[in-house]
Structure 1
Amino acid sequence: MITITAYQSTGPKDLFQHVNLKDCSTEESETIEIDRSQLFQEIDGFGASFTDSSAYLIDQVLSPQDKEGLMTQLFHREKGIGLSVIRNPMGASDYARSLYSYDDQPAGQSDVELKDFSIDHDRESILPLTKWAIDINPDISVFASPWSPPAWMKTTDTMNGGKLKEEYYESYGNYFVKFIQAYEQAGVPISAVTPQNEPLYMPLHYPSMEFLAHEEARFIKDYLKPAFLRQGISTKIIAYDHNWDRIDYAFDVLDEASESIDGIAWHWYGGRPISQSRVHHEYPQIDTHFTEGSGGEWIPAFEPAFSNLMRTGIDVMRNYAKSFVLWNMALDEHNGPTVPGFGKSTCRGIVTINQETKKLDYTLDYYGLAHFSKWVKKGAKRIGSTTNQFVKNVAFLNTDGTVVSVLFNDSHVPQSIRLKLDGQIIKQLIIPEKGAMTLVIESKGVE
């Protein structure tokens, strides 16, 4: 016996709603086949980031009742959408209230031995919220990425722009060690780190650093990985952490240091997700992660923005990603706070928290993530599934045997679908135009 539970989104007032499926088909029905015998990557999960700004808004602006409700909605596996990956900046990013690292020094001074290293800044809101999320959902993996090393390590003597000085490669490797150890002691294990967020983009209005492929490869191979081995640290090292359009960086860093690298991380601000598969096929032992994609005012809400999230999310997972992580967990009514001097922000958070009214709103990104995260559990595997020119689809097999299919009708007319599981027709249904649907398929007594 097969039972199917369906959740559907068709518009801004109809998001991730439980629906009762009716059998309905036409002669023009398209067939989508799900094949449990085709097993692909294991899934770590879906999530977003507790940036300094996000953590501040959730922890210090929301009322205690709203804060508890939001944390439940974000991370609880039954009462919420069960997010299971958190990617936190190591120090300030563009979405922080100030410029800071974990070892700031007065101008002209350095701290090669990192005697002043401290994660005290994160103890205010970032660490408590991350620990709370893990308490709610013990399956959570925490990733960490720096936007910049401490200013004294850099050619510019500032966190904005510049490069890492050669003489501080060893200190920077130890900086990661101290961060991982401090977070571990605070009750937050770090599953993976990247050496640098967006290493090929060096804006001067927020923390950044250029880290070319041969430089990152050398840092990982000769400094970061050896520092981890000396301290018995098992945290994974994920390289690149930038857009699909510079596949050459991923290949270059792997060609030089693949034995010291566990994965490649991708962002969606340029190129196409097929880059993930191209690297995977050359280096199948290297994990694929999608670690940042933000919605924003550059794609009008609702339909174009929601459609972009759903079609891209499906493509990301079909191209071997173990994770799908959006950007800020929360932003305010002005798409901030941002670091001083940033200028106008156009990004959108998973939720919006109005600093004046204290009102909490769940954005389309929350509901788009829900289509994946609510039912695809950590440890699931992507399985074979067909798509057609109109309906995008990706399917997963959970460890409890349930099959989850995420579908998106990327056309402007309803589409009739004949759904097959392992060669057997199990349902005929219609997906509304520009509609998303998650199907949870349970087989009882059927092999």
Structure 2
Amino acid sequence: MMTRTAFLKTSLAAAAPGAAAGRPAAYLSSKDRRWRLAPVTAAAMGTPGLTLHIDPSIGYQEILGFGGTYTEATAYNLKRLSAPLRRNVLQLFFDPVRGAGWSLLRTTINSCDASSGYYDYTKGSANPEEFNIQPDIDNFMLPGLQEALKISGAQFKIFASPWTPPVGMKDTGLFNKGSLLPQHYAAWAQYMVRYLDAYRAGGVPVWGLTPQNEPEAYEQKWDACGWTAQGMTEFLANHLIPRLRQSHPNVRLLLWDHNKNHMLKWLETMLANGTVRGAAQGIAHHWYEDGEAKNFGPLAEAQKLAPHLPLLATEQGVFGVKLLDGDVAELYARDLLLNMQHGSAAWVVWGMAFDHQGGPNHAGNFNHSPIMIDVEKGRLYLNPSYYYLAHFSRFVRPGARRIRLSGAPETLPAAAFLQANGDVVTTVLNPGGEQVHTAIHAPARRAMVQLPPGSIATVVFPAQAS
């Protein structure tokens, strides 16, 4: 748990930049929480057990960002906190110096499972003229984002995803089952644009949009809407894309937004349509059904199919509360690193600040989140996953490019990045039971760090003067 005073002490200490004098800086976190973004010595000498080599001249994908998911559950928890504690939570996520510096945030259009109940903006009506954003004002969705954008140094992009249209537009009349009726395609597109209008008017611009969360989910215990690839293509080409071009031409359209093992057939259908191919600006994918995210083959195939579209890992979640569980942190970091190695440009965790019981969640689908809150006692639990993910979100900023890193075995996942300012950042995960003495070679420079069992380390080589 963490109090306001402890937050200030921890965050300020972790932010001390050892690279200020031109020397490499190293930061360490461990699954047992002994180290939490702690500055550690990056020695220049010593005998390594592992040697990594960085080659900045060979670059790969540009990074869009790292972050999490803001749902009504998090908004509900934040609303119930005192104003000072709520600000501390937002600093922990969005302050790039004293916090994690999240740069990408997913949010929901209408309710999802991580909500206190079903809701939409027309009270179930199929008529978009009845749209009213008031539910997102009352439940703190919009005010919470307004406060987050005011955090010092906060720079994050927001993309939105619907779980279901209003029930009056569906063939079942149910939130958790059915499909959008074709006669309501135009109304649903108009509804989405009105959402974008309302958020823009509230000072919260939306950067990106996925047209449906998990479009193959026809029925769930929670909010869902099933599509076919052909139906989605028609909806996008004839309804949503024309409206976006007219009213929100800068909003990025992100395709798919479901499990990567089913993405290729959908992409083949959607991208065969010239309007969709010309408007799409990314491919979103989830990690479910792949065990521990072992199957990354579809990402390579997607890049062959659409090399112009960045890949975004938009939902990775763990079911169950798992309070202070270091294994979750390790699982997330491993998946993030493998996503980077296989071409993904962004990685977004499911959840943000659920309560200490993993909710609220109207479907009983309680989940882990990086920070968990005992709202009644005003206590924050910073899970190891919060610190592990901050090794990426704080140190690898949008606009960075992944670069070649050699020497890392599969048992020690790692990645290197070249920042826009010239800094070189390397992160190494040690999920094993033995300490690893690691040497990292950048051009004309070297740093050595000790990775205890069950830890993650980031080394920052500051830009060299030209």
Q: Shift in Å at residue 24 of structure 1?
A: 5.9
2:87 corresponds to: 68
Q: Give the counterpart of 1:99 among 98, 118, 131.
A: 118
Does residue 127 (structure 1) correspond to residue 142 (structure 2)? The answer is: yes
CA deviation vs aligned residue, 1:308-364 (integer Å, no higher than 9, x gap): 11111111222222221111111112211112xx23x34111211113323211112
Does residue 8 (structure 1) correspond to residue 28 (structure 2)? The answer is: yes
Q: Give the counterpart of 1:398 among 407, 419, 431.
A: 419
Q: Which amino acid aligns with 2:56?
A: R
Residues 30 and 384 in structure 2, CA contact (< 8 A), matched pair in contact too: no
| Unpaired stretches in structure 1, ≥5 consecutive residues | none
2:405 corresponds to: 385
2:252 corresponds to: 236
Distance in 2 separating the partners of 1:389 and 1:40: 19
Change (3 A) 1:298 1:282: farther
Residues 288 and 320 in structure 1, CA contact (< 8 A), matched pair in contact too: yes
Distance in 2 separating the partners of 1:184 and 1:141: 13
Q: Which amino acid aligns with 1:416?
A: H
**Aligned partner of residue 426 in structure 1, secondary structure:** strand
Q: Give the counterpart of 1:20 among 38, 41, 45.
A: 41
| Unpaired stretches in structure 2, ≥5 consecutive residues | 1-20
Change (3 A) 1:152 1:313: same
2:201 corresponds to: 185
Q: Aligned Cα RMSD in Å? A: 2.1
Q: Give the counterpart of 2:271 among 238, 254, 276.
A: 254
Distance in 1 separating the partners of 2:286 and 2:322: 16
Q: Which amino acid aligns with 2:402?
A: R
Residues 25 and 417 in structure 1, CA contact (< 8 A), matched pair in contact too: no
Q: Which amino acid aligns with 1:250?
A: L
Does residue 45 (structure 1) correspond to residue 45 (structure 2)? The answer is: no
Does residue 304 (structure 1) correspond to residue 344 (structure 2)? The answer is: no
Which range is displaced more, 382-391 or 165-174? Answer: 382-391
Does residue 437 (structure 1) correspond to residue 460 (structure 2)? The answer is: no
Task: For 1:41-440, list aligned pairs within 5 A.
Answer: 41-60=61-80, 62-105=81-124, 110-111=126-127, 114-124=128-138, 125-136=140-151, 137-248=153-264, 249-256=266-273, 257-271=276-290, 272-297=295-320, 302-339=325-362, 342-343=363-364, 345-386=365-406, 387-422=408-443, 424=444, 426-440=446-460
Residues 393 and 405 in structure 1, CA contact (< 8 A), matched pair in contact too: yes
Q: Which amino acid aligns with 1:97?
A: S
Q: Shift in Å at residue 411 of structure 1?
A: 2.5
Q: Which amino acid aligns with 1:252?
A: T
Change (3 A) 1:260 1:151: same
Q: Shift in Å at residue 253 of structure 1?
A: 2.6
Which range is displaced more, 147-156 or 7-16? Answer: 7-16
Change (3 A) 1:222 1:375: same
2:12 corresponds to: none
Distance in 1 separating the partners of 2:321 and 2:247: 45
Q: Which amino acid aligns with 2:301?
A: R
Q: Shift in Å at residue 177 of structure 1?
A: 1.1
Residues 422 and 464 in structure 2, CA contact (< 8 A), matched pair in contact too: no
Residues 23 and 429 in structure 1, CA contact (< 8 A), matched pair in contact too: no
Distance in 2 separating the partners of 1:58 and 1:25: 47
**Aligned partner of residue 461 in structure 2, secondary structure:** strand
TM-score under structure 1 length normalisation: 0.92
CA deviation vs aligned residue, 1:125-153 (integer Å, no higher than 9, x gap): 11112122222245210100000011111
Q: Shift in Å at residue 295 of structure 1?
A: 2.9
Distance in 2 separating the partners of 1:354 and 1:202: 34
Q: Shift in Å at residue 415 of structure 1?
A: 2.2
Q: How many residues align?
A: 435
Which range is displaced more, 146-155 or 269-278? Answer: 269-278
Distance in 2 separating the partners of 1:355 and 1:302: 20
Q: Which amino acid aligns with 1:55?
A: A
Residues 325 and 383 in structure 2, CA contact (< 8 A), matched pair in contact too: no
**Aligned partner of residue 23 in structure 2, secondary structure:** strand
